[in-house]
Amino acid sequence: MTPGEKLLEAVAVMDRLRSPGGCPWDAEQTHESLRQYLIEECFELIEAIEDGDRAALREELGDVLLQVLFHARVAQEDQDDPFTIDDVAAVLSAKLVGRHPHVFASDPAVRDSATQEKRWEELKQDEKKRESSIDGVALGAPALALAAKLAQRTARAGFPVDLLPSGDSPAERLFATAARAKIAGEEPEGDVRGVARKFAEDVRTAERAAKDAGFDPASLSEEEWRRFWPR
C-alpha cells in the first residue's frame, strides 16, 4: 500500500458526505458548529495518550483527523476565501521545511534540541512578523497551559520572574505557581491532570469499597469517606 493512500480515501469519503446526495447532517455543519467536537476529540486523544491505550490512540487520532478534513471541506465552500485540504497540507509542508533549516538546508545555528527549540521560536517570530514575545499565544487555551505558555515566551524574552503576578487572590497565586513551574522545566497542565486523574481513581476506589461494605456511595458522611479512602 502506498503511504497516504488511505488518507486520500478519507478525503474522498469526506467529500462525498458534504456533496449533494450525501449526509444532510454533515452538509449543514459549519466551522462554528463543529468547534465543540474538535475540542472533545482533542481531550479524548489526550486521555488515550495518558492511558497508554494503543487501540484508543489510533481511533482518537482518526477522530482528530476527521475534524481537520471536515473543517477543510467546509472551508472549500466559502464564497469569499475558499481553500482545500491540499492548501492546508501545502502550508504545513512549507512551514515544516522553513522551520527546519538544519534538515532541509544548511543552518549551523542548530546543534541540539535545546538550540533547535530556540531557533524554532526565532524563525516563527520572523516568519509571522510578530511585534510581541507573546504574539501567537492562544488565549483560549486551558488556564494552566496558558499561564505556562505566557511564562515560557516571556522568559525567553528576558522577562524577570519577580514581575509575575504576585497578588493574594487564588487566581494570581495559581498563575504564578504554573508560570514558575514552566520556567523550571515542568509541565503544570499535564502535572495537574495527573493529580486530577489520581484523585478520580481514588474516589472510585473509595466508592467501591463503601458499596462492598454495604454503604450507599452517594450519601457517605465525611467520616465514612475517610474510612474508605485508599491509603
What are the tens digits of pLDDT across the range 61-113?
A: 999 999 999 999 999 999 999 999 999 999 999 988 887 887 887 766 666 77
pLDDT of residue 198: 96
Note every long-range contact of 200-206, with CB atoms under 8 Å and residues 24 or more positions apart, other chains counting: 202/229, 202/230, 205/230, 206/230
Q: Sign of the C-alpha dihedral, residues 145, 150, 151, 156?
A: positive
Q: Is residue 202 within 8 Å of residue 229, measured between CB atoms? A: yes
Residue 177 sits at the vertex; the CA angle it makes with 176 and 179, to the nearest 5 degrees, is: 60
Q: Amino acid identity of 98?
A: G
Q: Name every residue whose Cβ is closer than 8 Å to that of residue 21 and which is 6 or more positions away in sequence.
A: none
Q: Model confidence at 125, in pLDDT bands (50, 70, 90)?
A: low
Across 134-160, average pLDDT: 92
Q: What is the residue whose three cell numbers read 491540499?
A: 86
Across 4-10, average pLDDT: 95
Residue 47 gets which letter from DSSP? H
Question: Mean pLDDT over all residues of the chain?
Answer: 91
What are the tens digits of pLDDT across the range 29-69?
A: 999 999 999 999 999 999 999 999 999 999 999 999 999 99
Q: Model confidence at 187, in pLDDT bands (50, 70, 90)?
A: very high
pLDDT of residue 102: 77
What are the tens digits of pLDDT across the range 190-219?
A: 999 999 999 999 999 999 999 999 999 999
pLDDT of residue 130: 76
Across 143-150, average pLDDT: 94
Query: For the chain, what percent of residues have pLDDT higher than 70?
Result: 90
pLDDT of residue 124: 67
pLDDT of residue 140: 86
pLDDT of residue 127: 64
Q: Report the alpha-carbon distance of residue 37 to residue 45 in Å, rounded.
A: 12
Q: Name every residue whose Cβ is closer than 8 Å to that of residue 143 and which is 6 or more positions away in sequence.
A: 174, 175, 178
